[in-house]
Structure 1
Amino acid sequence: MSLSAASNVPALDQVPVALKPTLHAGLVAELAERHRRRAPYDLGDHPLLERQRQRESSARTYPRRLPLALARAQGVYVEDVEGRVFIDCLAGAGTLALGHNHPAVIEVMERTLRSGLPLHGLDFTTPVKDRFMQDVLGVLPADFARHARIQFCGPTGADAVEAALKLAKIATGRGTVLAFHGAYHGMTQGALTLMGNLGPKVALGHSLHGVQFLPYPYAYRCPFGLGGDAGAAASLAYIENLLSDPESGVPKPAAIIIEAVQGEGGVIPAPPTWLKGLRGLATRYDIPLILDEVQSGFGRTGRMFAFEHAGIEPDVVVLSKALGGGLPLSVVVYHERLDAWRPGAHAGTFRGNQLAMAAGSATLAVLRAERLDAAAAELGARLMQQLAALGERFACIGDVRGRGLMVGVELVDAAAVPNALGARPAHPELAARVQHECLRRGLIVERGGRHGSVMRFLPPLVITAAQLDEAARIFGQALAAACA
């Protein structure tokens, strides 16, 4: 008997859309009820947190702002070791599209583990990997997918960004890359050079050469002092001049890399007309356009991919986070004309994560079957409407923006004099207080953007309207407490 027949490996490509729903619903209901009964929490220390401080690297981040030791999670809820329950609007920085421990994902992972499939596969193919490749191509725009190639990378989005840069440089024979103010593409050395935030770069003393930064259309804090459509048009004019001017000082680039919605930079959506214009410039000057969809991909923004809001197609798209169903996995998908690298030009020991591929296929099946991209569009509009209403009550809310369930609230110094466009200075201290007050009331939100003054909502796409309303209500209470 063959191994495949003995272990039923081929059956793994039959991904369940929803399994064990009763158990899942019961746990969610239990956590929801306990969350409703909560009082504001005392966020004192726990021995686990103390040992983390003593032993873990000083580079740790989230526990400094969100001092939690987690014990259990289901759906949109997490429970810590002291029994406190929180609505999770961080969701693994957008990784957990289906929330925590979704039954379809857990079922396919269990089935994969029992199958005898080699979990460590390098870049050998398997039925699970073959199914996964088809599933990924199946959610990309059809014209792009028809001519696409997939490169499996290391576990993180940063590794896929590194691969995309290498791909473009090899294919074009050029070295310069154009990136944008406010960009975030990862923390490895190459990806770090593309980052707008100077903080992580300062300690290095220098960064790699060959990156030219460009103005991103940020309506609230327009780099041209224009705002709106005029600011976006000025950005495109600036980029076109840089590419066409023989004395711009910038060599013809190997690639332009862009986030259609900047995440860590402060949840800043690029206007669709601007993205179309950028796509046109990249085509005209024969420059591969790389779309970083690590955080914004797979339904997060109300479309399967954020670039679809502009009706464009990339030459290269970088995918991770939700791609692996909560497990580490990243890929680069690109047009076949760029497939010029030699065998081994980019590799990685853990590029064959079979468990993540199985979990990823299950996630994509649920996303498509339940139309969670459409749900994200509807719920995101609902959340932004409620946050905008809070902006009428609290002058410290400078801007509410986002796409789908990728939403940001920029907090400002309400007592400061606004600039010519009406924007006031960022207020990071207030943002820190609001985050703390949210946590005390059972809501996990993260901060980002300029000076860490943007409150970021990245809830699981399976969040219900009632759960989202509760998150918005708590956020309003936290604002009131922080501003008192």
Structure 2
Amino acid sequence: MTLAAEPATGPTVPAQTPGGDAVLRRQRVRESSARTYARSFPIVPVRANGMTVEGADGRRYLDCLSGAGTLALGHNHPVVLEAIRRTLDSGAPLHLLDLATAEKDDFTTALFESLPKEFAGQARVHFCGPAGTDAVEAALKLMQTATGRSGALAFTGAYHGMTAGALALTGNTAVKEPLPGGREVVRLPYPYAYRCPFGVGGETGADLAATYAERLLDDPSGGVVRPAAMILEAVQGEGGVVPAPDGWLREMRRITAERGIPLIVDEVQTGVGRTGAMWAVEHSGIVPDAMVLSKAIGGSLPLAVVVYREEYDGWRPGAHTGTFRGNTLAMAAGAATIRFVAAHGLAERAALVGARMAERLRALAGELPVIGDVRGRGLMLGVELVDPDAEPDACGARPAAPALAVRVREACLARGLIVELGGRYDAVLRLLPPLTITDEQVDAVLDRLADAIAAVAAGDAAGRSGASGEAAATASAGTR
């Protein structure tokens, strides 16, 4: 398939074939109003290969969403398809609850071989329901059982899922406000250099965040009952692609270890090479008590597990069950994916390619003041869009520009590029390309993204300068 850029002009929503239009109409009528990605990308994909998705309209798109990080190898990678076909042809049972199978044994072997050795050497795995939120629930329940305690420590900006316990840990208030109160969660500040919760930024902000957490836990009048666990992300994804400093992570490990608080690291989105290491904890060298894994470990199919230190294995038989723990096809695809990433050095390549992309994006920020910050790790990148005319805060950050971000996302789609938003106020463009992205595709992604941001920014500038409606429309052609 060609990687040539789509025309820079055209409607925000591509004209659909009659069949595509009908599918979209039926979706709007039949599906829940909670649908999200379908609103952002009103297209009907009919074929996909690697990073390229073809819609029912015949247009091709470069997919920088990758199933929200699920598709480590992109769409329909040959090694994944071969593993699925081999499993189907073998006659292996596709559903066996939690019974032992050769496919599960092979997946577990591949997974443990990929984990940090100090962790894997004393670990056990529990197969959960098919989504990452199920694994978060299981990890919390595991630690509550092991410690006899109920509360949890979580962080500002966190995202851990949509089921009740995981949602209580999540920082985004918009998805929590309609619901009754959840379990007891103490919210701690996550280091976010651009929008530092302490107004200082940099290493000083991270040091203050660690000091605050430690002193709060030790304060007899701080109101914090010793919790069952602390849960954190080494890079917050939905929270706006905010990487935790390695030193801060080491401090969280020290603080929890000294106080007998189990540390759970949510690697649902960061795992399998995404951040430039097989697992994000490897950057800091910390050894958690549990890791929550999903998305890429299933090779594009639903699979979620908790891996934890065996000393916490206090569950009785049947203490945490689920019908869809035995997804044979996902285990086969996942084992193939994990081994392919390791054998071909894709984590190391993610680090190099991500650094190259970040460098060009930072250079672009020097040209376009609507880009407030560029950050990330490996092939998990965020571009925060801001109001360039507003006054900066004490850290130099300007107010987020969510409406501008929506227009940039639309302009990207018009140019054949799929990117999604996240972070505070949904003003962060999130880039999650597959680890198999080629150099040619990197250039195409950056070219299309730069063109989209520049076009939307020019349209806004024309509007602010009092340009006529006709002139403003011309400046923002292809973005509305």
TM-score (norm 2): 0.93
Aligned with 2:169: secondary structure?
Answer: coil
Query: Please, which of 173, 176, 193 is the counterpart of residue 201 of structure 1?
Result: 176
1:254 and 2:228 correspond: yes
Amino acid at match of 1:230: T
1:169 and 2:144 correspond: yes
What's the offset of the Cα at 1:38? Answer: 4.7
Larger deviation: 60-69 or 315-324? Answer: 60-69
Amino acid at match of 2:163: T
Structure 2 matches for 1:308-387, cutoff 5 A?
308-387=282-361
Amino acid at match of 1:345: A
Aligned with 1:193: secondary structure?
Answer: helix
Match of 2:36 in 1: 61
What's the offset of the Cα at 1:421? Answer: 1.1
1:457 and 2:437 correspond: no
Query: Please, which of 407, 413, 418 is the counterpart of residue 381 of structure 2?
Result: 407
Amino acid at match of 1:155: P
Match of 2:60 in 1: 85
Match of 1:216 in 2: 190
Query: Please, which of 72, 76, 79 is the counterpart of residue 104 of structure 1?
Result: 79
Contact 2:6–2:415, Cα closer than 8 Å, also in 1: no
Q: What's the % identity of the aligned pairs?
A: 58
Query: Please, which of 258, 274, 278 is the counterpart of residue 284 of structure 1?
Result: 258
Distance 1:70 1:147, change over 3 A: same
Query: Please, which of 394, 399, 416 is the counterpart of residue 368 of structure 2?
Result: 394
Match of 1:16 in 2: none
Query: Please, which of 391, 408, 417 is the counterpart of residue 417 of structure 1?
Result: 391
Match of 2:269 in 1: 295
1:430 and 2:404 correspond: yes
Match of 2:153 in 1: 178
Aligned with 1:391: secondary structure?
Answer: helix
Q: C-alpha distance in 1, partners of 2:326/2:26?
A: 33
Q: C-alpha distance in 2, partners of 1:160/1:230?
A: 34
Q: Deviations over 1:40-88 (max 9, x none)?
A: 4432452211111111110100011111111000001000001110000
Contact 1:170–1:341, Cα closer than 8 Å, also in 2: yes
Q: Deviations over 1:389-417 (max 9, x none)?
A: 11011001110000000000000000100
Q: C-alpha distance in 2, partners of 1:227/1:72?
A: 45
1:304 and 2:283 correspond: no
Q: Deviations over 1:357-402 (max 9, x none)?
A: 0000110111011110000000000100110011011001110000
Q: Deviations over 1:247-271 (max 9, x none)?
A: 1111001100000000000000000
Q: Deviations over 1:277-306 (max 9, x none)?
A: 110001100110000000001100000111
Aligned with 2:33: secondary structure?
Answer: coil
What's the offset of the Cα at 1:36? Answer: 3.9
Query: Please, which of 127, 145, 159 is the counterpart of residue 102 of structure 2?
Result: 127
Match of 1:6 in 2: none
TM-score (norm 1): 0.92
Query: Please, which of 132, 140, 144 is the counterpart of residue 157 of structure 1?
Result: 132
Q: C-alpha distance in 1, partners of 2:10/2:243?
A: 34
What's the offset of the Cα at 1:39? Answer: 5.6
Aligned with 2:306: secondary structure?
Answer: strand
Amino acid at match of 2:31: E
Q: C-alpha distance in 2, partners of 1:74/1:207?
A: 43
Amino acid at match of 1:221: R
Aligned with 1:135: secondary structure?
Answer: helix
Match of 1:476 in 2: 450
In angstroms, what is the RMSD of aligned CA positions? 1.0
Aligned with 1:202: secondary structure?
Answer: coil
Q: C-alpha distance in 2, partners of 1:478/1:355?
A: 39
Q: Structure 1 regions of 5+ residues with no counterpart? A: 1-29
Match of 2:249 in 1: 275
Q: C-alpha distance in 2, partners of 1:138/1:365?
A: 9
Q: C-alpha distance in 1, partners of 2:7/2:103?
A: 43
Amino acid at match of 2:342: R
What's the offset of the Cα at 1:31? Answer: 4.0
Contact 1:89–1:445, Cα closer than 8 Å, also in 2: yes
Q: C-alpha distance in 1, partners of 2:381/2:369?
A: 19
Q: C-alpha distance in 2, partners of 1:244/1:472?
A: 47
Contact 1:41–1:442, Cα closer than 8 Å, also in 2: no
Contact 2:5–2:415, Cα closer than 8 Å, also in 1: no
1:191 and 2:166 correspond: yes
Amino acid at match of 2:36: T
Q: C-alpha distance in 2, partners of 1:184/1:166?
A: 18
Q: C-alpha distance in 1, partners of 2:74/2:128?
A: 24
Amino acid at match of 2:30: R
Q: Deviations over 1:439-466 (max 9, x none)?
A: 0000000000000000000000000122
Amino acid at match of 1:482: V
Amino acid at match of 1:76: M
Match of 1:138 in 2: 113
Contact 1:40–1:442, Cα closer than 8 Å, also in 2: no
Q: Deviations over 1:90-123 (max 9, x none)?
A: 0000000000000011011011011111000100
Match of 2:474 in 1: none
